[in-house]
Protein backbone atom coordinates (compact mmCIF):
# COMPACT_ATOMS: atom_id res chain seq x y z
CA UNK A 1 0.00 0.00 0.00
CA UNK A 2 2.90 2.32 0.82
CA UNK A 3 4.48 1.57 -2.57
CA UNK A 4 1.17 2.38 -4.29
CA UNK A 5 0.98 5.71 -2.48
CA UNK A 6 4.58 6.58 -3.40
CA UNK A 7 3.98 5.57 -7.03
CA UNK A 8 0.80 7.67 -7.09
CA UNK A 9 2.61 10.73 -5.73
CA UNK A 10 5.40 10.30 -8.28
CA UNK A 11 2.87 10.04 -11.13
CA UNK A 12 1.00 13.12 -9.90
CA UNK A 13 4.22 15.12 -9.60
CA UNK A 14 5.29 14.04 -13.08
CA UNK A 15 1.89 15.05 -14.50
CA UNK A 16 2.18 18.56 -13.07
CA UNK A 17 5.84 18.91 -13.99
CA UNK A 18 5.32 17.97 -17.62
CA UNK A 19 2.20 20.10 -18.01
CA UNK A 20 3.87 23.19 -16.53
CA UNK A 21 6.84 23.25 -18.91
CA UNK A 22 6.86 26.04 -21.47
CA UNK A 23 9.44 27.32 -23.96
CA UNK A 24 8.27 30.94 -24.02
CA UNK A 25 7.90 33.43 -21.22
CA UNK A 26 5.37 35.63 -22.96
CA UNK A 27 1.81 35.55 -21.64
CA UNK A 28 -0.52 33.47 -23.74
CA UNK A 29 -4.13 34.33 -24.53
CA UNK A 30 -6.46 32.98 -21.87
CA UNK A 31 -3.79 33.05 -19.15
CA UNK A 32 -5.85 35.25 -16.84
CA UNK A 33 -6.80 34.11 -13.34
CA UNK A 34 -9.99 32.05 -13.15
CA UNK A 35 -12.17 31.32 -10.13
CA UNK A 36 -12.89 27.60 -10.07
CA UNK A 37 -14.10 24.80 -7.84
CA UNK A 38 -12.80 21.23 -8.10
CA UNK A 39 -14.76 18.02 -7.57
CA UNK A 40 -13.69 14.36 -7.49
CA UNK A 41 -16.42 11.73 -7.80
CA UNK A 42 -15.99 8.01 -7.19
CA UNK A 43 -18.50 5.20 -7.44
CA UNK A 44 -19.84 3.40 -4.36
CA UNK A 45 -17.08 2.03 -2.16
CA UNK A 46 -14.26 4.06 -3.72
CA UNK A 47 -11.81 5.71 -1.32
CA UNK A 48 -10.05 8.79 -2.69
CA UNK A 49 -6.58 8.87 -1.14
CA UNK A 50 -4.55 11.57 -2.92
CA UNK A 51 -5.63 14.90 -4.42
CA UNK A 52 -3.37 17.49 -6.08
CA UNK A 53 -4.62 20.81 -7.47
CA UNK A 54 -3.55 24.39 -8.00
CA UNK A 55 -4.59 27.18 -5.63
CA UNK A 56 -3.21 30.38 -7.10
CA UNK A 57 0.15 29.44 -8.60
CA UNK A 58 0.86 26.91 -5.86
CA UNK A 59 0.18 23.18 -6.14
CA UNK A 60 -1.70 21.79 -3.13
CA UNK A 61 -1.33 18.11 -2.23
CA UNK A 62 -3.74 16.35 0.13
CA UNK A 63 -3.53 12.76 1.32
CA UNK A 64 -5.98 10.89 3.50
CA UNK A 65 -9.21 8.95 3.36
CA UNK A 66 -11.66 11.25 1.57
CA UNK A 67 -14.39 8.70 0.85
CA UNK A 68 -16.00 8.50 -2.58
CA UNK A 69 -16.54 12.24 -3.17
CA UNK A 70 -14.49 15.38 -2.50
CA UNK A 71 -15.21 19.03 -3.34
CA UNK A 72 -12.83 21.97 -2.89
CA UNK A 73 -13.75 25.26 -1.33
CA UNK A 74 -15.66 27.51 -3.70
CA UNK A 75 -13.85 30.04 -5.89
CA UNK A 76 -10.21 29.05 -5.90
CA UNK A 77 -8.34 31.67 -7.95
CA UNK A 78 -5.78 30.16 -10.31
CA UNK A 79 -4.16 30.63 -13.71
CA UNK A 80 -3.69 26.87 -14.01
CA UNK A 81 -7.02 25.11 -13.36
CA UNK A 82 -5.88 21.51 -12.98
CA UNK A 83 -6.66 18.64 -10.59
CA UNK A 84 -5.47 15.07 -10.24
CA UNK A 85 -6.56 12.34 -7.84
CA UNK A 86 -5.90 8.71 -6.94
CA UNK A 87 -8.08 6.20 -5.17
CA UNK A 88 -8.83 2.55 -4.57
CA UNK A 89 -12.02 0.80 -5.63
CA UNK A 90 -13.58 -2.37 -4.23
CA UNK A 91 -13.83 -4.09 -7.64
CA UNK A 92 -12.95 -3.84 -11.34
CA UNK A 93 -16.14 -1.86 -12.05
CA UNK A 94 -15.18 1.02 -9.72
CA UNK A 95 -14.90 4.47 -11.30
CA UNK A 96 -13.29 7.83 -10.51
CA UNK A 97 -13.61 11.13 -12.40
CA UNK A 98 -12.67 14.78 -11.88
CA UNK A 99 -14.54 18.00 -12.66
CA UNK A 100 -13.68 21.68 -12.94
CA UNK A 101 -16.63 23.91 -12.06
CA UNK A 102 -16.99 27.61 -12.93
CA UNK A 103 -20.04 29.63 -11.77
CA UNK A 104 -21.77 26.44 -10.63
CA UNK A 105 -21.44 24.75 -14.02
CA UNK A 106 -19.15 21.86 -14.96
CA UNK A 107 -16.86 23.26 -17.67
CA UNK A 108 -14.53 20.26 -17.97
CA UNK A 109 -14.81 16.65 -16.86
CA UNK A 110 -12.35 13.80 -17.15
CA UNK A 111 -13.18 10.43 -18.60
CA UNK A 112 -13.93 7.93 -15.84
CA UNK A 113 -11.01 5.81 -14.67
CA UNK A 114 -12.09 2.21 -14.00
CA UNK A 115 -10.70 -0.67 -11.95
CA UNK A 116 -9.45 -1.26 -8.43
CA UNK A 117 -6.55 1.22 -8.71
CA UNK A 118 -7.92 4.54 -9.92
CA UNK A 119 -6.24 7.71 -11.23
CA UNK A 120 -7.88 10.71 -12.88
CA UNK A 121 -6.91 14.24 -13.90
CA UNK A 122 -8.39 17.16 -15.78
CA UNK A 123 -7.27 20.65 -16.75
CA UNK A 124 -8.66 23.59 -18.74
CA UNK A 125 -5.69 23.51 -21.14
Element (H, E) at 15: helix 2-20
- CATH number for position 61: 2.60.60
CA distance 86 to 50: 5
Is residue 53 included in any domain, yes or no?
yes
Q: Which domain holds residue 90?
A: 2-17+33-123
pLDDT truncated to tens, each residue of the chain (125 aa)?
566 666 565 655 656 555 555 555 554 545 577 889 999 999 999 999 999 998 888 899 999 999 999 999 878 888 889 999 999 999 999 999 999 998 889 999 999 999 999 999 999 87
The domain tally of the chain equals 1
| Entry pTM | 0.73
Amino acid sequence: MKNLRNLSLILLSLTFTLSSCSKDDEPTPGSETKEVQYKIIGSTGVNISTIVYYDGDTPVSKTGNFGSEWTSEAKISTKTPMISANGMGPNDNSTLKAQIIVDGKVVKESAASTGKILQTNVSLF
